[in-house]
């Protein structure tokens, strides 16, 4: 049965040495992440910066300004209400085109995998952006545990659906058909840049950021980075992701950052890097593939990126 292998790409071609600082083993089920590497220096007030010398976004903004519509439409709703979500115990259902489907305890899914410091630009479709020090596990390592077959061409992810604890899921003002679903092509999922984040700023991932783990695909818009994942499904066909179903003219499947393709209601040519204010908006040009083109552009060779948006 075929196994998928991650391309052998030197780490120096993925992120700078300062942005990909330390590797450490993930020990036990308790998710207690020690302050280390980039995150530790940032919290200590060091002058360390992210990709291309960019300053880290303050932790209070990263954890306090979020899109997580399961808890409300306002950017501050997740930080206010996400504590109502129970994240322990947590289970992950794996299905589809793989040799090891099943209902797994989260601790068994991540046991023994390496947690790495990854500092990535994070770009939201609403034209705001951050530089975030994640701690994460290679998605390729996670998926390899379930042995996807040769028929697996895509991987689908599903967020927790628990209206009793996620007030946005029971709101009459929501137009989303819950639960939230996202997907990647398998080669995108297996790319070395793609991670499942389990921490941020050297601490356990807060509920409002998608505890206990969430997808991070740094060359795509933030809505692709599905939070609080409870299902992984390998499939032959392209999944119908939530935002594409909700507003197909506005949100495509691929969601690659492309400044040449405007959202129907606003331009994507520039972005507002947080923190920003009315009088100091901190505007900058949007980078193709969010600045990761050298690493990922080959995934889309020959594709019309205006049509496959």
Global pTM value: 0.86
Q: Backbone phi, then psi, for 16, in 5-degree steps?
A: -70, 165
Count how many domains the chain has: 1
In a domain? residue 309: no
Residue 5 lies in a domain: no
Give percent of the chain with pLDDT exceeding 90: 78
Task: Print the domain residue range for 34.
Answer: 11-300
Whether 2 is covered by a domain: the verdict is no
Domain CATH for 192 = 3.90.420.10
CB 36 within 8 A of CB 22: yes
In a domain? residue 139: yes
With CA atoms as reference, report the closest residue to 156 among 186, 177, 124: 186
Look at residue 134 and tell me if it is in a domain. yes
Q: What is the DSSP letter of 37?
A: H
Q: Which of 291, 14, 5, 52 is nearest to 136 (CA)?
A: 14
Flag whether 113 is in a domain: yes
Bond before 89 cis per omega within 30 degrees: yes
Characterize the bridge pairing of strands 154-159 and 229-235: antiparallel
Report if residue 162 sits inside a domain. Answer: yes
Distance between CA 107 and CA 125 in Å, rounded? 32
- Per-residue pLDDT of 17-74, as tens digits, reads 334 333 332 322 233 344 445 555 555 445 556 787 889 999 999 999 999 999 999 9
How far does Cα 69 stand from its chain's mean position? 15
User: pLDDT per residue over 105-130, tens digit each?
Assistant: 999 999 999 999 999 999 999 999 99
Residue 221 lies in a domain: yes
Is the distance from CB of 224 to CB of 231 less than 8 angstroms? no
Average pLDDT, the chain: 87
């Amino acid at each position: 049965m075929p196994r998928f292998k991650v391309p052998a790409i030197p780490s120096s071609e993925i992120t700078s040495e300062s942005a990909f600082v330390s590797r450490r083993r993930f020990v036990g089920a308790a998710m207690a992440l020690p302050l280390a590497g980039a995150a530790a220096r940032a919290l200590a007030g060091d002058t360390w910066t992210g990709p291309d010398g960019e300053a880290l976004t303050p932790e209070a903004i990263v954890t306090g300004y979020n899109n997580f519509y399961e808890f409300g439409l306002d950017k501050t709703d997740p930080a206010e209400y996400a504590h109502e979500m129970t994240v322990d115990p947590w289970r992950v259902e794996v299905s589809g085109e793989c040799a090891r489907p099943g209902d797994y305890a989260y601790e068994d899914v991540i046991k023994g995998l390496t947690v790495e410091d990854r500092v990535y630009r994070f770009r939201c479709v609403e034209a705001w952006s951050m530089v975030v020090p994640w701690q994460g596990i290679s998605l390729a390592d996670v998926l390899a545990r379930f042995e996807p077959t040769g028929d697996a061409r895509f991987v689908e992810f599903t967020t927790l659906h628990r209206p009793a604890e996620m007030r946005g899921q029971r709101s009459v003002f929501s137009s989303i058909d819950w639960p939230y679903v996202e997907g990647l092509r398998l080669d995108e999922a297996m790319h070395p840049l793609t991670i499942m984040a389990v921490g941020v700023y050297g601490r356990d991932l807060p509920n409002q950021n998608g505890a206990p783990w969430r997808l991070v695909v740094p060359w795509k818009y933030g809505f692709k980075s599905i939070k609080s994942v409870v299902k992984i499904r390998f499939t032959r066909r392209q999944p119908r992701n939530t935002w594409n179903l909700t507003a197909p003219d506005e949100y495509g499947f691929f969601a690659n950052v492309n400044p040449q393709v405007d959202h129907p209601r606003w331009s994507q040519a520039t972005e507002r890097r947080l923190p920003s204010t009315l009088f100091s908006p901190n505007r900058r040009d949007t980078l193709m593939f969010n600045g990761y083109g050298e690493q990922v552009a080959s995934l889309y060779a020959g594709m019309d990126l205006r049509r496959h948006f």
